[in-house]
């Protein structure tokens, strides 16, 4: 292993189901930004922290002349200890947060786990169970608890300077103003802004039809490594992967009315105070979530 390996100077720490996979492919197009070509997120600062920093360094052995090195890791908002980030990455690490209506985020998360065949409960059962039972040690669940953004963000504000944080809102910044948002992100990361293809999106509302094929597309393996050699363009590989992903899935029919019935309860009775707290913390009007 190289002795002078550079570790990330920026992280997108969350939250999940806010377009972070698309962010990975979009930012990979920029020649000044390095993101690991094999995996989107390492889970190092949460479930893999016990493997030690040498394990994390291996992910960045291929860094060349890129000035900005990062990881898109939406699990870190809920699972990581910010003090571990500070210890290994320093006080000046730049942090990107994307927040989404917590009720719709929870439902989107639930749909994803259903598509992956890892969740068999109804959404109603999940909401009732989590409100009554608290946080579980099954990390891919905790659908409701991952929406208390004020509590999660405060952990980071206790450790890092707010001036090194960029707060984005999924509904307005990602869904409606994506090109302007990626210009803002580039300025925040202090790279020369260029035109990025922001149409690279992962397919929503689909169900995996072949677990092995999905794993093949999304993990390091000889086929992926061969593709990297014969198709050196990151953008081209991203588009090909998007096409293959689209054609390896079929649509599911998890009806939105399952959320519609619960959404007023979740927003008004569960999340309202948390949202109001977050408004003050990030100085943004979030009334689109509760009006």
pLDDT at 259: 77
pLDDT for res 231: 67
Exposure b/e, 67-97, CB count within 10 A at least 16 = b: ebbbbbbbbbbbbbebebbeebbeeebbbbb
Residue 133: the pLDDT is 81
pLDDT at 21: 94
Strands 68-72 and 10-14 come out as: parallel
Distance from the Cα of residue 83 to its chain's centroid? 20
User: Residue 261's pLDDT is what?
Assistant: 82
pLDDT for the residue 39 = 87
The pLDDT of residue 224: 57
Enumerate residue ranges in the chain where pLDDT < 50.
203-211, 213-215, 245-253
pLDDT, position 206? 41
What pLDDT, on a 0 to 100 scale, did the predictor assign at position 19?
94
Q: Is the CATH number 3.40.50.300 carried by domain 10-205+252-290?
A: yes
pLDDT at residue 131, rounded to an integer: 87
pLDDT value, residue 203: 46
Name the residue ranges covered by the structural domains of the chain.
10-205+252-290
* Nearest one of 143, 155, 158 to 100, comparing CA atoms: 143
Residue among 140, 147, 136, 75 at smallest CA distance from 106: 147
pLDDT for residue 211:
47
DSSP class of residue 233? -
């Amino acid at each position: 292993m190289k002795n002078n390996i550079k570790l990330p100077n920026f992280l997108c720490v969350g939250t999940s189901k806010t377009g972070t996979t698309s962010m990975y492919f979009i930012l990979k197009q920029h020649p000044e930004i390095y993101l690991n070509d094999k995996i989107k997120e390492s889970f190092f600062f949460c479930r893999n922290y016990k493997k030690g920093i040498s394990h994390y360094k291996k992910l960045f052995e291929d860094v060349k002349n890129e000035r900005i090195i990062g990881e898109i890791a939406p699990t870190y908002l809920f699972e990581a200890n910010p003090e571990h980030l500070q210890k290994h990455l320093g006080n000046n690490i730049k942090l990107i947060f994307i927040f989404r209506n917590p009720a719709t985020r929870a439902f989107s998360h639930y749909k994803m786990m259903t598509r992956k065949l890892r969740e068999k409960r109804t959404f109603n059962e999940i909401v009732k169970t989590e409100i009554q039972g608290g946080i579980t040690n099954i990390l891919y669940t905790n659908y409701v608890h991952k929406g208390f953004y004020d509590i999660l963000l405060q952990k980071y504000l206790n450790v890092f300077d707010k001036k090194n944080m960029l707060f984005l809102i999924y509904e307005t910044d990602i869904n409606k103003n994506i090109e302007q948002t990626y210009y803002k992100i580039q300025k925040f990361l202090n790279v020369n802004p260029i035109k990025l293809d922001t149409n690279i999106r992962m397919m929503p509302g689909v169900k995996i039809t072949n677990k092995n094929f999905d794993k093949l597309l999304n993990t390091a393996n000889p086929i992926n490594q061969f593709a990297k050699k014969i198709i050196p363009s990151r953008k081209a590989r991203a588009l090909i992967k998007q096409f293959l992903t689209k054609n390896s899935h079929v649509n599911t029919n998890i009806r939105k009315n399952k959320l519609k019935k619960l959404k007023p309860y979740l927003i008004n009775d569960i999340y309202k105070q948390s949202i109001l707290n977050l408004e003050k913390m990030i100085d943004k009007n979030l009334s689109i979530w509760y009006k």
